[in-house]
Amino acid sequence: MSLPVIAEIAEGSPAELAGLILGDEIIAIDGEIPNDVIRWQVLIDEADPVLSIQRGGLELEIQVAKSAGQSLGVQVDAAIFDRVRTCDNHCEFCFIYQLPKGMRRSLYLKDDDYRLSFLYGNFTTLTRFTEADLERVVSEGLSPLYVSIHSTDPGVRSRMLRNSRGGYSLRWLRALLDFNIEVHGQIVVCPGVNDGDVLDDTLLGVLDQFPELSSIAVVPLGVSSYNTEPSMRPHTINEAKRVLEIVDDWQHRFVESLGHRLVHAADEYYLLANEAFPEAATYGDFAMHEDGIGMARSFETEFLDPSSEIVGIRSGFFQSVDGAPAAGYRAARTVGSNRGGEITVGIECQSGDASSLTIRPRRNAPIGILTGAYGAEVLRPLIDSLQRNDIRILEVANHFFGGNIKVSGLMVGEDVQRVLELEPEGHRYLLPDVCLNNGRFLDGLRPEDLSKYVEVIPTDGIALRSALEPQEQVRPVSSELVR
């Protein structure tokens, strides 16, 4: 078990006034050793907590004068203080198995921890869930949780997870729903395994066994060039269309039976099938936005109407173990320099090498928007609606992962650099923050390592629209809806 370390202290906070400093290691709070940031938050919420700390090899006790419910003013460096509960499934479609070698060690962590599900929206299969876990979830109200369903047929699910417990671990899903825990489900569709009639049966099983689910995301299998499972392959166009037909059919059935659509297909399916995205209103509150459900429509709505923020900023892929705030995606997330497209004309040494100087471009310079292949399809009609000839979309092909990986969140530095090398100096280049973890791309490069200056902006329509405007005021625009 590692000790949580104080990473941030708010100026003038009870923690600072009590004498806590950066780098203090927390041993216990009021005599209790917290095993994660969830329990930490409960303990420090009490009045006048006594923190046992380790500082420079010495153990100290510091009582912090504060009222119950008052913020301590401290952020710690991790979410889990004991061991992350790793996944003992061996899913042939697992993307962790499809990563290239040589990446940061933390990116290869395959978790199945309900605490990370609560904090970050990670999906858990519940194969390692226990009675004690259920008791804690219920007693502490750890909701919502996110559960990988894949199939409600025990045999199919066991095969997909390559775990004999996979066939009956969904009993925990039933128990969570019985205790009114909000749960969102996910079905990763693998062609020839759980698509077609199996997907149809799975949604029937949901209606029969788990109708209290808040939402279900149907997402396509991601296949990188490093995939070693010959049975795992991308969808064909016809298979994508069939998935959309099944989802549409079941949306109508769920509306009739439950009063809401419940199931939604990922945006990627509409791109694969070359079909129009559903209207924004069909996604409700965009509960599964981070899984690519309604992302295009929410982005479009924010872009066209900057006064309406739909989903805000949340952590991206791999963020739960490598760069997100310890308190989870519900906490405020910040990005390094240049957030929101704020540009100052001047000279900057991007790489730290005094011989390599980069001139920041003018605010009214031509603009290149860096994005993945799917992002480019969504952005083109929005950018065209502005009727400006000084903005272009720079589609970044994902050579690093290869396969059918086309989302912007998995862009890496070397692929971005390959595009920038062909672009002129003096232009503005906008980069979505979703592809960065703690200021780094997944391949370890940083924006300042690139050969041209880039502006890192939040991955939402409001931020992009603001960054594109030469003046502070955002002009209204009329456009037909995306696709």
pLDDT in tens, 269-312: 999 999 999 998 898 888 788 778 899 999 999 999 877 766 55
- Rounded to 5 degrees, φ, ψ at 41 are -65, -40
**87 is a domain residue:** no
Does the structure show a pLDDT above 90 at 132? yes
Q: How far is CA 18 from the centre of its chain?
A: 36
Q: Are 23 and 77 in contact (CB under 8 A)?
A: no
CATH number at residue 236: 3.20.20
Distance between CA atoms of residues 112 and 14, nearest Å? 36
Asked if residue 478 has pLDDT above 80, the reply is: no
In percent, how much of the chain has pLDDT > 90? Answer: 73
Phi, psi of 419, deg, nearest 5: -75, -45
Please give the residue range of the domain that contains residue 397. Answer: 339-468
Which structure tokens are listed for 300?
């479009």
Sheet arrangement for strand 50-55: 25-29, 50-55, 58-63
Q: How many angstroms separate the Cα of 292 from the Cα of each of 5, 213, 413, 429?
A: 34, 18, 22, 24
Same domain, 167 and 285: yes
- 269 in any annotated domain: yes
Q: Among 293, 321, 352, identify where a domain stops.
A: 293
Task: Return the bridge partners of 19, or none.
Answer: none
- Determine contact, residues 291/219, Cβ cutoff 8 Å: yes
pLDDT at 83: 86
Together in a domain, 183 and 246: yes
User: What is the C-alpha to C-alpha distance for residues 248 and 267, in angstroms, rounded to an integer?
Assistant: 14
Residue whose token pair is 């009021």: 30
pLDDT of residue 286: 81
Q: Is residue 465 exposed (0-12), middle (13-18) or buried (19+ Cβ within 10 Å)?
A: buried
Do 406 and 454 lie in one domain? The reply is yes
**Same domain? 175 vs 53:** no
pLDDT exceeds cutoff 70 at 255: yes
**CATH number (domain holding residue 27):** 2.30.42.10
Q: Do 104 and 23 share a structural domain?
A: no
Whether residue 203 is contained in a domain is answered as: yes
Residue 313 lies in a domain: no
What is the model's pLDDT at position 108? 85
Residue 441 tokens read as 């791309």
Is residue 227 assigned to a domain? yes
Predicted local confidence at residue 353, as pLDDT: 42
**70 and 176, same domain (yes or no):** no
Cα separations in angstroms, 315 against 53, 329, 422: 30, 6, 31
Q: What is the mean pLDDT of residues 395-424?
A: 96
Same domain, 267 and 360: no
Q: Decide which of 226 and 360 is more confident.
A: 226
- Domain check: are 68 and 100 in the same one? no
Q: Are residues 166 and 289 in the same domain?
A: yes
Structure tokens at 174: 């039933």
Residue 458 has pLDDT above 80, yes or no: yes
- CB within 8 Å of 80: residues ≥ 6 apart: 35, 36, 37, 113, 115, 116
* Whole-number pLDDT of residue 77: 87
CATH of the domain at 361: 3.40.50
For residue range 332-381, what is the model confidence (pLDDT) as tens digits? 443 333 333 332 222 233 444 433 455 678 888 999 999 999 999 999 99
Are 220 and 102 found together in one domain? yes
Regarding whether 407 and 275 lie in a shared domain, the answer is: no
| 118 in a structural domain | yes
Residue 369 phi/psi, 5-degree rounding, is -100, 115
pLDDT in tens, 192-225: 999 999 999 999 999 999 999 999 999 999 999 9
Structural domain count of the chain: 3
Give the predicted TM-score (pTM) of the model: 0.85
For residue 299, give every residue at least 6 positions away whose Cβ sits within 8 Å of its Cβ, in sequence order, or none: 378, 382, 460, 461
Residue 86 resides in a domain = no
479 belongs to a structural domain: no
Residues 238 and 191: their CA atoms lie apart, in Å, by: 11
One domain, residues 156 and 204: yes
